[in-house]
Structure 1
Amino acid sequence: MCPDTIRCVQSCSVCAMSTSPRQLPTGKLVPLPIPQRPWSHIGVDFVTDLPGSEGNTCILVVVDRFSKMCKFFPLRGLPTALETAEHLFQQLFHHFGLPEEIVSDRGPQFISHVWKAFFKLLGVSVNLSSGYHPQTNGQTERKIQELGGYLRAYCHEDQHSWSRFLPWAEYAQNSLHQDSASLTPFQCVLGYQPPLFPWTEEPSHVPAVDHWFRESVGLSSSPSPAGCSTTQE
């Protein structure tokens, strides 16, 4: 099944147009230290300037460097440094606790004194990627590329529908087997792969329900346009 799926993705014209090219960075590769537990070291970044979708125009992307688990949060606009920190508290840290380190690019939110002071009081180290070597936050950049490919593949007919597909993109990414651990991010963090839609296509005799299940099962079971697992860059 896996080889057939990979061949199908590799021969898919929509996937070919949606995915980003892969190119090795210049210079000496110095990988970040490997974390010892899930969600102790994270990368953050934004996807901006998206078509309006249910009032949202950007996405906050957070990646756990240990498990490669990712979280995608739709936002109504690009937040300030304080709003970004508050959002991480309200949507992420109450699930996994405070991280030891946050890596980001040099966006205005992350170089601000507010961002640095906020996390200094919490004892969280905040580090910035080099302008000449953005691969310091390479896992997050890779997830953003794969997210973009997924959304382009499914939203090419209606670019304003991406908010609706975002949860399925997150589920698909967190269900990919990682070469480094031979586990999915779900399995690495939760200890199991969350089951979804044990549906046998038996009709419910309620057309609206049947339509929802057919559509949702197709989205949740479709492979990522990347067609492969990810590793630390």
Structure 2
Amino acid sequence: MEAAELLFNQVFRYFGIPEDIVSDRGPQFVSRVWRAFFTRLGVAVNLSSGYHPQTNGQTERKIQEISRYLHTFCHGHQDSWSQYLGWAEYAQNSLHQPSTGLTPFQCVLGYQPPLFPWSGEPSDVPAVDHWFRESERVWGSAHHQLQRALRRRRLTANRHRSDAPAY
């Protein structure tokens, strides 16, 4: 029940209950509890093919991008990678996607939240100033690394493409 409760508390309460879910074949996703929970909600559960990551390719690509960022940024800081994950997600959700021309924030929320709404005025609390400086540094790095990944993906995808013939 733990995975289902987490999904409800962290996703469904913000975005609603979906018509279907695609998941891998992890033990929590093939359990009797999982199936009963989603059957009761009226949600179709689709399991990806084992050892076939292309089944859920879009998610796999995003995971690869975030993993590359974390690998690059956290080199030498492996014990604290989780503190950078939120900023990596924030940067990813702020990137314009070629397929829509919008950021994920714009698609989901209908607007782009301000990236750094705080003023540049220093605080009289050094720990607060340090947090904001570090946050800007981490976000900037995450954004830069994810843009690089997007450019690499675009170059790779376009490597074997040619312009359509004019008729």
Q: Do both share a fold (TM > 0.5)?
A: yes
SS of the residue corresponding to residue 92 of structure 1 reads helix
2:145 maps to 1:225: yes
Aligned partner of 1:98 among 10, 14, 17: 17
CA shift, 1:130, in A, is 1.6
CA distance in 2, matches of 1:114, 1:211: 45
SS of the residue corresponding to residue 110 of structure 1 reads coil
CA shift, 1:206, in A, is 4.0
Aligned partner of 2:87 among 152, 168, 171: 168
SS of the residue corresponding to residue 96 of structure 2 reads coil
CA shift, 1:123, in A, is 0.4
CA distance in 1, matches of 2:38, 2:85: 28
Aligned to 1:109: 28
Residue deviations 1:19-74 (CA, integer Å, cap 9, x gap) = xxxxxxxxxxxxxxxxxxxxxxxxxxxxxxxxxxxxxxxxxxxxxxxxxxxxxxxx
Supply the AA of the counterpart residue of 2:145: P
The 5 Å alignment of 1:38-187 reads 82-131=1-50, 133-187=52-106
Structure 1 alignment gaps of length 5 or more: 1-81
Aligned to 2:131: 212
CA shift, 1:132, in A, is 5.6
SS of the residue corresponding to residue 102 of structure 1 reads strand
- TM-score by length of structure 1 reads 0.59
Number of residue equivalences:
150
SS of the residue corresponding to residue 46 of structure 2 reads strand
CA distance in 1, matches of 2:115, 2:91: 11
Aligned-residue identity in percent: 69
More strand by share: 1
Contact 1:102-1:127 within 8 A present in 2 as well: yes
CA shift, 1:95, in A, is 0.7
Supply the AA of the counterpart residue of 2:87: W
RMSD: 2.1
Residue deviations 1:168-213 (CA, integer Å, cap 9, x gap) = 0110111111111100000111111111324564433543332221
Which has the higher Rg, Structure 1 or Structure 2? 2
Supply the AA of the counterpart residue of 1:149: R
Aligned to 1:62: none
1:132–1:154 distance in 2 versus 1, CA, 3 Å? closer
Residue deviations 1:59-117 (CA, integer Å, cap 9, x gap) = xxxxxxxxxxxxxxxxxxxxxxx211110011111111101110011221222222111
Query: Greater relative contact order: 1 or 2 (C-alpha under 8 angstroms, separation 6 or more)?
Result: 1
- TM-score by length of structure 2 reads 0.80
Supply the AA of the counterpart residue of 2:24: D
